[in-house]
Amino acid sequence: MPPRRRPKEPFREKFPEPGPATFAEYGKRIAVEDGIAAKSRRGAIGASWWSGRFLAVLEKLGVGGRLDRGKTYARAGQVIDLAIEPGEVVATVQGSRAEPYRARIGITTFADEAWDAVENAFAADSWYAASLLGGTVPDDLEEVFGRVGLSLFPTGAREMPMDCSCPDWSVPCKHLAAVAYLVAERFDEDPFLILRWRGRDRATLLAGIRDRRDDTGPAVTPLAEVVDRFWTAGGPLPDVGGPASGNSEELLDQMPPLGVTVDGVDAREALRPLYRRLGA
């Protein structure tokens, strides 16, 4: 069982601990109207490899039935709001007390130098660049981070600190678990949120890849600068010549054997009457 620990003090200052509660306040959770509910109604939550990698860290830390209760909270819509920001996920969760709890799942963001290496790796590979610029996250995205010495997902509790203002000192508590399950579904819907959590939003990432591709690729004149003459002929077409005699059948004579017959006749000979008509 993971050691019980008190959340870090900076988080306590941001989200102060609720006051003393009576036994009744630890009873049935207070229903939330228009809360954020998980789309999955039964079974596992998270359909993609990236949500699975994220939840794997949570499940390693699971204490007792708190993960199951967190899943119930997520499906019941007990999470009031949730935001995925660089370095942290912050959410408000309604429990059995009148005052909702504040939960946070942290992660270390990558430095600008690390993101430069990631963007260079993406830009250097046409497949990754085309996929990302087209709005698709490749399934082997994690391998690119590994090539530059980074881990896209946290590998343990030290890399993903979690805090909640509830009285339960176990980490993760059911409120944090509920938030994590909803985050997994958000990752399913938009994998770029994983990169945002690590410190690089979608627009900035794609702009960096695009700039690097432009720097290494051929010079391209923006359409806005040539639109006034875009449909204008650029001059007469060059004379590429043709059969000296003007006989279109010479094209058939220059054609290598096709290895195809039509009614027992070589395809070139079968086409000869048509070429004569076209030449006429």
pLDDT score at 119: 94
Q: Residue 120 class from Cβ within 10 Å (0-12 exposed, 13-18 middle, 19+ buried)?
A: middle
pLDDT score at 235: 54
pLDDT score at 217: 54
Given a cut of 70, the residues of the chain with pLDDT beneath it are 1-27, 62-64, 216-257, 280
What pTM, to 2 d.p., does this model score? 0.67
Q: The tokens of 138 are what?
A: 């490749």
- Closest alpha carbon to 125 in 113, 109, 140: 140
Query: What residue spans define the domains of the chain?
Result: 9-110+153-200, 252-279
For 1, half-sphere exposure in the C-beta direction (CA atoms, 13 angstrom radius) is: 10
- Closest alpha carbon to 104 in 169, 37, 168, 179: 179
pLDDT score at 128: 87
pLDDT score at 6: 43
Where is 142: in which H helix or E strand?
A: helix 141-147
Q: Which amino acid is at 44?
A: A
Q: Tens of pLDDT along 86-124? A: 999 999 999 999 999 999 999 999 999 999 999 999 999
- Residue keyed to tokens 């990558």: 110
Bridge partners for 88 per DSSP: 85, 106
Residue 279 and residue 273: Cα distance in Å, rounded?
10
